[in-house]
Structure 1
Amino acid sequence: MPLAQFTRIAAAIHPDVHAIHIREKRRTARELRDCVQELLHRGIPAHKIYVNDRLDVAWATRIGGVHLAHHSLPVKEVAALSHALRIGCSVHSVAEAKQAANDGADYMFYGHIYDSPSKPGIPSRGLAQLQAVANVVSIPVIAIGGIQPEKVTEILQHGAQGIAVLSGVMKAHDPVGRVRQYAEKLNERR
């Protein structure tokens, strides 16, 4: 997605979400910095903005946090370097979840919960595994992967503290309306 389109959608939905996660693996540090600056210019508070795998960009722009992938710097090393950034990471098993929590992660993404077009041919992990992860950590577990609004209640019933949605919002005909559908389901449980 072009960054101009991403920032326009992010600015429109930010009042209804807790975080805007920039996940652009092929962008340069400068492009990501420019994206963050545009989000800030559009009124999104810095504490709501997270960047995937780019600790340098997160520090330079003083945003809310950095989200680490399996190929990123280890959580423990990033946590030792930074007390100002929230540190999240993606996990795919109970063992990875325990390790991330022990190493100082502030939250984790777990998934993919349901079949997802972004993970073709890879079996979903499902609700039982989500519950198993949530049972062994004390930090928030955010479910990700193939989540539709009608599935939010069961996700929260299986231990997730929240959800992360990419294509379900960014590819929606009406992203604001779609975010509000998710928010309504999340707020029913809170």
Structure 2
Amino acid sequence: MWQRRGVIGVELVAVTNDRLEVDSLARVMIEVEPFVDYFIIRERTKTAAEYINLIGQLTEASVNKEKLIVNDRVDVAVATGINKVQLPGHGLTVQQVKINFSQFRAGRSVHSVKEALEANEAGADWLLYGHVFPTDCKRGLPARGLVELKKIVEDVPANIYAIGGIKPWHVAELCEIKIRGIAVMSSIFGSSDPASAAAEYYEACQSYHSVERD
């Protein structure tokens, strides 16, 4: 998730939405795993024991551990041997993680060009920018749109992922900006048929390619 080499398919990241019990969430993740490049496990209300239970179920089902990214909970990543973390703005800094957990790859959630530049300077391995389009998850908050996203891609050498209200038909427009990938939450985990939803995004992502930026 942190390398850009030549011409490669646009990556699909599935972000969990903290609305399913552990067993149900594990089943959904196992079903959609063939269609996604990464999962960000973002379960704010779950305990460390529940996280560990979830990751244990995924491991037993042979879900590739390299696809798993733990949001915020660095302690859970350490306990489960996950080597990727997604850091929210209110969490540990990139510097703190890099100094204390040198084995980790760390992404930062950003909401502006300034935050993106700072996170890149701090050594973030990738950046997650949003919310790009209107979404019920951010009801009442205006979408940030594409103008600033384009600026971030132009000014910041890190791999950039877009999140927020993204539908399969948005992929072509986003790919023109040369982002590294898209992240999707409710449209997959809130779907009555998560595997079919993930497959639709997968097909859209495979139709376009991200070209290495100088």
Structures share a fold, TM > 0.5? yes
Give the number of the structure with larger relative contact order, counting CA–CA contacts within 8 Å between residues 6 or more apart. 2
Aligned-pair distance for 1:173?
2.1
Query: What residue is the counterpart of 1:35 in the other structure?
Result: 54
In 1, the alpha carbon distance for the partners of 2:21 and 2:178 equals 34
Q: Does 1:171 align with 2:193?
A: no
Q: Which amino acid aligns with 2:168?
A: P
Identity value in percent: 36
Q: 8 Å contact 2:97–2:104 — kept in the other structure?
A: no
Q: Does 1:82 align with 2:101?
A: yes
Aligned-pair distance for 1:82?
2.2
Match of 1:147 among 166, 169, 184: 166
User: Structure 1, residues 24-75: CA drift from partner, whole Å, max 9, x if none?
Assistant: 1111111111111111112111111111101111011111311110110111
Aligned residues: 190
Q: 8 Å contact 2:132–2:143 — kept in the other structure?
A: yes
Query: What residue is the counterpart of 2:208 in the other structure?
Result: 189
Q: Which amino acid aligns with 2:97?
A: V
In 1, the alpha carbon distance for the partners of 2:101 and 2:176 equals 33
Q: Does 1:103 align with 2:125?
A: no
Alignment of 1:12-31 (within 5 A): 12-31=31-50
Aligned-pair distance for 1:115?
0.3
Aligned-pair distance for 1:117?
0.1
SS at match of 2:137: coil
Q: Which runs of 5+ in 2 are unaligned?
A: 1-19, 210-214
Give the alignment's Cα RMSD to 1 decimal: 1.1
Query: What TM-score, normalized to structure 2?
Result: 0.86
SS at match of 1:142: strand
Query: What TM-score, normalized to structure 1?
Result: 0.96
In 2, the alpha carbon distance for the partners of 1:137 and 1:3 equals 37
Query: What residue is the counterpart of 1:62 in the other structure?
Result: 81
Q: Which runs of 5+ in 1 are unaligned?
A: none
**Which has more helix, going by share of residues?**
1
Q: 8 Å contact 1:128–1:158 — kept in the other structure?
A: no
User: Structure 1, residues 65-109: CA drift from partner, whole Å, max 9, x if none?
Assistant: 111101101111111222322211100000100111111111111
Aligned-pair distance for 1:158?
1.9
Q: 8 Å contact 2:40–2:71 — kept in the other structure?
A: yes
